[in-house]
Amino acid sequence: MSAADAFETLLARALIAGVRAVPWRASLGIGARLGDAAAMLGIRRRVGEENLARAFPERSASERARILREHYRELGRVAAEYPRLAELAFPGRVSTRFATRARRWCSATASTRHKYSSGSVTTRPRSRAPSMCT
């Protein structure tokens, strides 16, 4: 593992721990801020702008920019929900053992997703993954 990979893993684990440490509603706010950060960094922004221009040519540039900004915020909120999917899917019924296994399984499959990525479309071989991880 390269130093960059190790740093990314450490950063991801710290974010996951931080999101899990706060109440669910607060984690959504953190997720929205993560989305804002992704937008500021310009991650895939050009693709989003082009797609919105094609999909909504009748809308103004400022309205499309607002849609894209909200899209990034929603992506951040979804990312913030991933670490707690087990507890959201099965409130009050998820054992610590199950949640730990689910987190390990999801993180193991997430680390292999990039191998099958080609451009903007990600395809993976069909697996029997729990639906909460896909």
Pick 64 or 88 by higher pLDDT. 64
Give the pLDDT of residue 93: 66
Query: Looking at the predicted structure, is the pLDDT value of residue 126 above 80?
Result: no
Give the pLDDT of residue 94: 56
Long-range Cβ contacts of 98-106 (<8 Å, 24+ apart): 102/130, 102/132, 102/133, 105/129, 105/130, 105/133, 106/82, 106/130, 106/132, 106/133
